[in-house]
Structure 1
Amino acid sequence: MRREQNKEYTRNLLITSAIELFKQQEYQKTTIDEIAKKAGVSKPTFFAYFRSKEQILYEFDLQQLEAFELYMKEQLNSQGDLFANLREGIMHMATNLHSTNVLTQNLMHLVTISADYKQLLMRMSTIFQSITKDVLEFGQENQMVTMNIPADEIARDIFNIYLGGLVSWVISNGEDSLEVLIGSALEHYFTGIKIV
């Protein structure tokens, strides 16, 4: 039991150390040696947990999606405002994943140069849309969300709003807040699919 806890601690320490470095400097310039040093472990220890820097990003993204899924399940059980809770869950995930403009710029650049990372992000997109679709289907079953558009299409639209907000944020060099760029767009979109 203790050994498993130590493994999980080391894994999370490597993720946290890498993300802190990615926020401060360019992803491409961050070395595995630097990540290992910041985490206080050896380079072979790094490779015992991760194959690459891209895998760390994937694991970090996955942690945020798992937190988003858990949050949404809790909210559905609470009978609160579906749209407010969905917006809150997405914004919480966005601000955790994209806490600095530098990190988001690095991630977007990485998509253009790494086929592996592009594949990972495609999987993340699928997971995000699946979680969102489940929430929307719940909303349709309870007459909160329009039945005129299939839940999977709405989930895809929401993902595109999320992605578009990130691109706008990068282009503006972080001058506008994610809350404005993504949150406001979600509010407008929700107005069109909400059953009043």
Structure 2
Amino acid sequence: MQLPRGRFLTIKKETSIRKLQEEAIAAGFTGYLSFFTGDTRATLVIENGRPILAEFGALAGREAYEKLHSMSDIAVDAELFILSDAQLSLAKEFNRTYTMRTEPEQRARERFAGIQSQERSAEASASERKLAASTAGATRLKPRVAKVVSASKWEDDLSLLDTMDLEKVKRSMRENSRMIAEKLELDHLIKENV
């Protein structure tokens, strides 16, 4: 799981997973718990006291949480980190495979996605019918000619690099980093080239 660092809160020594979760719920904790059980690393992300992301070794999401729940009386040393709203949003965005969804919630999401795709296909077929009706009596339109595209994005990037003045880019980057260092009062880090 990839998480923002967060602000360190505390280390809880020799406490059970159950007790950690009860304390998080009672406090409305938002952040994550990180600990080892034997050789396996476990991480539990909590939002307002409710677990939302879980990892236990190679397990993710609901499976990881159920494994942690089955081991809830084992004593662990846990690190607690507080996450801001922005950090929590990033954690959710970059760790979707670790999301803990209940089965009814998952079915509801799948059903909603199916309804949306049916609506999109109905809208597409309606627009196709309108286009066919409007062009039925019209003269035949000239087909569009597609631009010739390079074999790959890689070749495009390489050709772009060939046209760039790399020395100018390097000078510009050095000047900008020098200005930033001066603004941050880090002049002592700047070495002049001899």
Question: TM-score scaled to structure 1, two decimals?
Answer: 0.20
Larger helix proportion of the pair:
1
The structure with more radius of gyration = 2
Larger strand proportion of the pair:
2
Question: TM-score scaled to structure 2, two decimals?
Answer: 0.20
